[in-house]
Amino acid sequence: MELYGTIFFEIVGGYIVLFIIVRLLGKSQISQISPFDFISALVLGELVGNAIYDNETGFSIIVFSIGIWGILIYVTEFLTQKSRKLRYLLEGRASIVIHKGKLDWKQMKQNHIDIDQLQQLLRDKGVFSLQEVEFAILENNGGISVLRKTEADQPTLSDLKIKGEKRAIPFTIVSDGEVLNQNLQAAGVDEEWLYKELKQKGVRSPEDISYAEYVPGKEIFIQKY
């Protein structure tokens, strides 16, 4: 029973100390997690976890360890507020992955993000087609900010009292130079149709394309490397 009581005391004590540290450091530790903040959270959790299950570690050592780490985080946050260079070094910079409607593959590679991940982030913002995007910025916390093209951000049809046509989700038919045959079939077309469309666009091979999407009944949309 004594062991359980000790563990209970250390868990509750560690919880209280961690809560105080987070409150002192501010909401950025929670709502705007940068790579440095993520590492900080992991280390704080590891310090408490190791201390709880190590019989030779007492509550005072837990408090001391968390306190030292909390001071280091506080000093780092203070320095990043004072120095832009340190801020970029520790927190990183936002990256423009779509610039004036064009994919920036250099930025995507630097941030280790592929076209499928980018599409998922855009869908989270209610954007289902790259054709609608003028600018897309990958933020430090892994989220994405989107500025739609002017023509894609007009008043709603209900505002204009116009009956709109039925909308459809675009099919990704070429990704990273590879033809996605399953999506071609789902869109009701085949490779012969694709090569014909590419020829009309002056594209020799799908391998020259980074991304292509198609909405049935509309023109194919292509992004070259």
CB 172, CB 211: distance < 8 Å:
yes
CB 97, CB 107: distance < 8 Å:
yes
Q: Looking at the DSSP assignment, which residues form a beta bridge with residue 145?
A: 137
Which DSSP letter does residue 176 get?
Answer: T
CB 52, CB 4: distance < 8 Å:
no
Q: Is residue 159 part of a domain?
A: no
Q: Based on the domain organization, do 99 and 85 belong to the same domain?
A: no
Beta strands in the chain, from DSSP E residues, in sequence order:
95-99, 102-103, 133-138, 144-148, 171-175, 178-179, 209-214, 221-224
Q: Based on the domain organization, do 46 and 121 belong to the same domain?
A: no
Q: Which range marks the domain in which residue 119 is found?
A: 95-152
Average pLDDT over residues 47-51: 64
Q: CB under 8 Å to 216, separation ≥6 — which residues?
A: 168, 171, 187, 188, 189
Structure tokens at 76: 């780092």
Selection from 16-25, 52-61, 202-211 with the highest mean pLDDT? 202-211
Q: Based on the domain organization, do 148 and 173 belong to the same domain?
A: no
Residue 23 above 70 pLDDT?
A: no
Q: Is residue 217 part of a domain?
A: yes
**Among 152, 183, 200, residue at a domain's last position:** 152
Q: Is residue 99 part of a domain?
A: yes
Q: What are phi and psi of 22, to 5 degrees?
A: -65, -40
pLDDT in tens, 172-198: 999 988 999 999 998 999 999 999 999
**In angstroms, rounded to a whole number, what is the distance separating the alpha carbons of residues 101 and 172?**
17
Q: Based on the domain organization, do 18 and 32 belong to the same domain?
A: yes
Average pLDDT over residues 28-48: 58
Q: Is residue 158 part of a domain?
A: no
**Among 45, 60, 89, residue at a domain's last position:** 89
Length of the chain: 225
**Run of H or E including 210:** strand 209-214
Q: Based on the domain organization, do 31 and 109 belong to the same domain?
A: no
Q: Is residue 157 part of a domain?
A: no
Q: Is residue 19 part of a domain?
A: yes
pLDDT in tens, 123-170: 988 898 888 899 999 887 778 999 888 776 666 555 566 665 566 788
Strands 178-179, 171-175: pairing kind: antiparallel
Q: Count how many domains the chain has.
A: 3
Q: Based on the domain organization, do 72 and 100 belong to the same domain?
A: no
Residue 86: the pLDDT is 75
Residue 30: the pLDDT is 44
Q: Based on the domain organization, do 131 and 107 belong to the same domain?
A: yes
Greatest CA separation found in the chain? 79
**Among 37, 64, 89, residue at a domain's last position:** 89
pTM (predicted TM-score): 0.56
Q: Based on the domain organization, do 205 and 172 belong to the same domain?
A: yes
Residue 28: the pLDDT is 41
Q: Based on the domain organization, do 80 and 126 belong to the same domain?
A: no
**In angstroms, rounded to a whole number, what is the distance separating the alpha carbons of residues 62 and 41?**
15
Q: Is residue 211 part of a domain?
A: yes
Q: Based on the domain organization, do 12 and 56 belong to the same domain?
A: yes
Strands 144-148, 171-175: pairing kind: unpaired
Residue 113, domain CATH: 3.30.240.20
CB 219, CB 197: distance < 8 Å:
no
Q: At 77, is the secondary structure helix, strand, or coil?
A: helix
pLDDT in tens, 75-118: 777 887 787 777 777 666 788 999 998 999 888 888 888 888 89
Torsion sign, CA atoms 152, 156, 161, 163: positive
Q: Based on the domain organization, do 120 and 147 belong to the same domain?
A: yes
Q: Based on the domain organization, do 22 and 41 belong to the same domain?
A: yes
